[in-house]
Structure 1
Amino acid sequence: MTGKISVLMPRLLLSAIMTMALFSCPAQAFQNGPASVAPVAKKLVDAVVNISTSQTVKGPSGVPLPKVPKGAPFEDFFDDFFNKRGGVPNSDRKISSLGSGFVIDGNEGLIVTNNHVIEGAEEIEINFHDGSKLKVDKVLGRDTKADLALLKVTPKKPLKDVKFGPSATLEVGDWVMAIGNPFGLGGSVSLGIISAKSRDINSGPYDDYLQTDAAINKGNSGGPLFNMDGEVIGVNTAIISPTGGSIGIGFAVPSDTVANVVDQLKQFGEVRRGWLGVKIQTVTDDIAETLGVPENSGALIAAVTPESPAAKAGLEAGDVILKFDNKDVTSMRGLPRIVAQAPIGKAADVELLRKGERKTLQVTVGRLDDGDDTDSDLKEQGSESPAPGSSIIGLKLSALTSELRRKYGLDDKIKGVVVESIDPQSAAAKKGIKAGDVIVEAAQEAVSDPGDVAASVDKVRKAGRKAVLFRVEDGKGDLRFVAVPIS
């Protein structure tokens, strides 16, 4: 017995010391995760609101009424029962939905929520934590691309409001708190961390979501995500869930984006985004090798819109944009977000790589109109000159003729060498090149006959590179860069 006690006593003593140390730590030990979030939640809950909407829809209700055969014993009973209760299959009916929001200006009565929370609503009512209610006077503006809306109510007394904090300084692992109206249970508080940043969930061209494991469910949409200083650092917008409930993967629009959108909705009632006028694609491993740039960095320009700000500034297809307005372009999808947030009319520096040489050009940011294409990505999909129709790295190429233009539906403006057929086992086929495509450039040099292509391939091979970079145009006029292995 004595031996057992002597073994256990040091462990018990160590446990007691660790416990005492834990609870005697200074307050700063909990600065990133306090022992309780009750003080923070208590200050914020009154600024978070429940949003209920209603709208009238036409057509049959969700549950079909029973059909009784003519002359059946209970025909009169069913007719009387359902007619008295208004059970008409094609009658109009009102449906309602619930969401969340938060007050950003208590004196003016300004409330932020998701656009999808109020989409199609005829009436919008704001329910406050103290039980009071206010009708929304006006939707000041909405932005479908960022899924945000700004509402206006007339407060009888100043409302409790909250402020935006910076989302750019957040780090993965930082504590965050969500308050909202999940499943109609208003004032619900959940705690978690930032699980990831800059998430692209394919919901729009400017996806840049914060990911959190704080519980977010149906009804939390439009509600705030707070840091431990009580600042709004995101708007809870979406979840991934096979069950319909939280599995710890939720997404919030970062506050830096929200604040910018809200400011414009207040000023203009709409969002005015910057526009460059380029089609871009990712710098993949093989393209990076051909261009001599780090992989997965920058944005490769595949095409420039005529008369666009990019065209006027001298940007060209094949340029790799590394910085825009002194902000690093760390990925292809980062460029549209940076440009969209740039002030209209601002002269911004563009740092780029062109044929191995770094250049800095200045572009005046344009305004993205409804008729303009977003600065968006394109989906990835010693040698003698050979005679026309010869095969080069699995491609049978020919100079463009009127007959070939008609055959493949190619516009007269398209210049280059047409692909007549392709070896299905070749590297080019695996990269998505197909018959009817036109090679416009090879190794960033314009080509007009198969000999030009062969010479470029030979030049690249002698330089010791593993792939040749083609610029390819299809019958629809879409341009893209394709790096085709040659070894």
Structure 2
Amino acid sequence: MVPPRDRRATLPGSPDMSSTPAVPAIRAWPRVTGQRMRRLAAVLLVAVWTTAGMPAHADTALQNTPELIRNVLEAVVNITVRKDMKRVSPAAEMAAATVSSSKPDHTAPPDIKTFIGSGFVVDPDGLVVTNYHVVEDAFEIKVMLPDGTVLTGTMESASRLADLALVRIHPDHKLVPVHWGDSNKVAIGEQVFAAGNPFGIGLSVSAGIVSAVNRDIQSTPYDDFIQTDATINHGNSGGPLFDMEGKVIGVNSAIISPTTGSAGLGFALPSNSARFVIERLEKYGWIRPAWIGVKLQQVTEDMAQAMGMSQPQGAIVAWVLPDSPAHKAGLEVGDIVLQYNNQTPQDERALLRDIVATPVGTTVPLVLRRDGVQHTVSITPEVFPRDQWAKQDAPLATERPKIVIPPDLGLNLAPVPKAEKMSLGMTDGLTAVLVAGVAPDSDAARRGMTDGDLILRVQNKSVATPAQVQAGIDAARAAKRNYVLMLVLPKVRPTPGPKWMALQVGVDG
């Protein structure tokens, strides 16, 4: 189960600096305390995967759906990453486990694990969007295009809080980018489809409907998720949620489920929030959020009764930071914010998002109630101090692990005793070198080589002595190869005959 985080309703710069700064879209970490259902539910950081019914707006949409899907899939990619688990935090490890590959890499060192996810192209020159938790702590990122081309990716910028990352690849041709839709226009019951890489089996698509909008999964004070009745699978994190016009209306990010499988509760980050973050990351390298310096709480029914209000309305100010924009505007503890910038937010989460998205330096009206009397003040948001923001939002640096490969690859080799040639399966004229032992943590051991195996060829040259095997290994290194190819006759053969085996002699990258 993903551990819950303390997500108090706090604006940036509140006295409690451990609280989360405001951001339009926040990573989906659930609060699993409280009601029995929430104790059972665990938000898994994987993407929405829908399988409910055939999508359509009308007969024409039904007829055009296959062609529409074929076109939009040109912008969807599969992402495979490798992480050094010794360097991964427990929380990040839990998040990474939710997108783990269904095909474990038994050839990697024990602490190196492979994970898979999804993404989509937003710039034809090679900019890909995915969830941050997919690439978090990754020292290697591989992006597979729809045509099967695999390219090395680099995380260009990211927001931990928004759970979004921009990955740069360098294709030899222009890519097909997605077209953005307006998530503010998404309606409950609208039919949608999602694309991604479930279980690492490859690019797949399925369909469902929008179950709810502005969904609060108690992940943060800013939740605004699109809920869909998705059948969620591992590996879809970071993939797009499309409307029936083929436009991206969300980034598939989370599910709630009492198990590791789907319970029909899938959540996508709205496209408008995603675009806000992406555009800020591209322009500034960080979100550069607006900030007014107050702590707010939604007015509950109990609070309203305590204050003599006929019904709960607005967000109450719990703290005002000295010298903050809110302090300069005259806000006080106990004020109730009713409107911001001529808009009436439906809850404090919407208010926080509105504040963040305000152009810095723009003076806007704020309507508040104080002692039963309504007032309008002018407030000018400032930039959140970057050093404080970076502590909670900047992506963490990742170092490539140092993998030591012994000169002999961990192989203890010996000539084949003449008396044992027949018992080892060697026919007349066949030369080979006996594997007398294999280091347990070596690449050879992970690939299944064991004592009693015979090495027949190295780089397609016959070998008869251990020195010849070592010479082949050395030659591969000298040629700057990362692998050496060996023809091996296994001691235990599920199928007759030898097999080719590539053993690592160098470190990728």
What's the TM-score, normalizing by structure 1? Answer: 0.61
Match of 2:181 among 165, 168, 178: 165
> Map of 1:185-264 to 2, 5 A cutoff?
185-264=201-280
- Asked whether the equivalents of residues 57 and 244 of structure 2 are also in contact (C-alpha less than 8 Å), the reply is no
CA 1:163/1:99 → structure 2, altered by over 3 Å: closer, same or farther?
A: same
Q: Does 1:118 align with 2:135?
A: yes
Q: Quick check: 214-223 or 196-205, which moved more?
A: 196-205
Bigger relative contact order (CA 8 A; separation at least 6): 2
Q: Partners in 1 of 2:340 and 2:122 — Cα distance?
A: 31
Q: 1:169 to 1:347 in 2, by over 3 A?
A: same
| Pair 1:350–1:129, CA change in 2 (3 A) | same
Structure 1 distance, partners of 2:116, 2:85, is 17
Aligned partners of 1:373 and 1:318: how far apart in 2?
A: 26
- Asked if 2 retains the 8 angstrom alpha-carbon contact of 1:114 and 1:237, the reply is yes
Question: CA–CA distance in 1 between the matches of 2:198 and 2:252?
Answer: 11
Which structure: larger Rg?
A: 1
Residue pair 1:299, 1:329 contacting (<8 A) in 2 also: no
**What is the aligned partner in structure 1 of residue 439 from structure 2?**
none
- How many Å separate the matches in 2 of 1:30 and 1:369? 53
Superposed counterparts of 1:30-41, under 5 Å: 30=59, 34=62, 37-41=65-69
RMSD: 2.4
**2:215 and 2:225 in contact (8 A); partners too:** yes
1:97 to 102, 112, 115: 115
Partner residue in 2 for 1:46: 74
- For 2:171, which of 155, 161, 171 is the aligned residue? 155
C-alpha deviation, 1:293, in angstroms: 4.7
2:333 to 306, 317, 337: 317
Letter in 2 for 1:208: D
Q: State percent identity of aligned pairs.
A: 44
Q: Distance in 2 between matches of 1:205 and 1:141?
A: 24
State the alpha-carbon separation in 2 of the partners of residues 114 and 193 from structure 1.
Answer: 22
Q: 1:354 aligns with which of 357, 362, 370?
A: 370
> Per the alignment, in what secondary structure is the counterpart of residue 184 of structure 2?
coil
Relative to structure 1, the CA distance from residue 207 to residue 294 in structure 2 (aligned partners, 3 Å threshold; closer, same or farther) is: farther
Q: Residues 86 and 104 from structure 1, CA distance in 2 versus in 1: closer, same or farther, beyond 3 angstroms?
A: closer
For the residue of structure 2 that corresponds to 1:286, the secondary structure is: helix
Shift of the 37–243 alpha-carbon distance from structure 1 to 2, 3 Å rule, reads farther
Q: CA deviation at 1:219?
A: 0.5
TM value normalised by structure 2: 0.59
What CA distance in whole angstroms lies between the structure 1 residues aligned with 2:258 and 2:341?
41
CA contact (8 A) 1:178 1:216 kept: no
- Secondary structure of 1:266's counterpart equals helix
Instruction: State the 1:230 CA deviation.
Output: 0.7
Partner of 1:385: none
The CA distance in 2 between the partners of 1:86 and 1:337, in whole Å, is: 45
**C-alpha deviation, 1:185, in angstroms:** 2.2
Pick aligned residue for 1:366 from 361, 367, 382: 382
Q: Which of 293, 297, 301 pairs up with 1:277?
A: 293
Q: Whole-Å Cα distance in 2 between the matches of residues 202 and 297 of structure 1? A: 20
Amino acid at match of 1:305: L
Tell me if the contact between 2:57 and 2:191 (Cα under 8 Å) persists in the aligned partners: no
1:371-425 Cα distance to aligned partner (Å, 9 max, x none): 7699xxxxxxxxxxxxxxxxxxxxxxxxxxxxxxxxxxxxxxxxxxxxxxxxxxx
Structure 2 unaligned spans of 5+: 1-55, 88-105, 391-509
The alignment partner of 1:141 has SS state of strand
Whether the aligned pair in 2 keeps the contact of 1:297 and 1:329 (CA below 8 Å) is no
Matched residue SS, 2:250: strand
Say if 2:303 and 2:312, in contact at 8 Å, map to a contact too: no
- Using the alignment, how far apart are the partners of 1:218 and 1:272 within structure 2? 32
Structure 1 residues 372-391: aligned runs within 5 Å: none
Which residue number in structure 2 is paired with residue 82 of structure 1? none
Q: For 1:351 and 1:308, how far apart are their aligned partners in 2?
A: 18
1:288 and 1:205, CA in 2 relative to 1: closer, same or farther beyond 3 A?
A: closer
Deviations 1:305-331 (A, max 9, x none): 111110001111121111112221221
Q: How far did 1:202 drift?
A: 2.7
Provide the C-alpha distance between the structure 2 equivalents of 1:169 and 1:307, rounded to a whole number of angstroms. 38
Distance 1:86 1:293, change over 3 A: closer
Find out whether 1:327 has 2:355 as its counterpart. no
Is the 1:216–1:236 contact (alpha carbons within 8 Å) kept by the matching residues of 2?
A: no
The whole-number CA distance in structure 2 between the counterparts of 1:354 and 1:171 is 36
2:138 alignment partner, SS class: coil
Secondary structure of residue in 1 paired with 2:274: helix
**Equivalent-residue separation in structure 2 for 1:347 and 1:114 (angstroms):** 33
Q: Hey, what's the Cα distance between the residues in 2 that align with 1:86 and 1:42?
A: 35
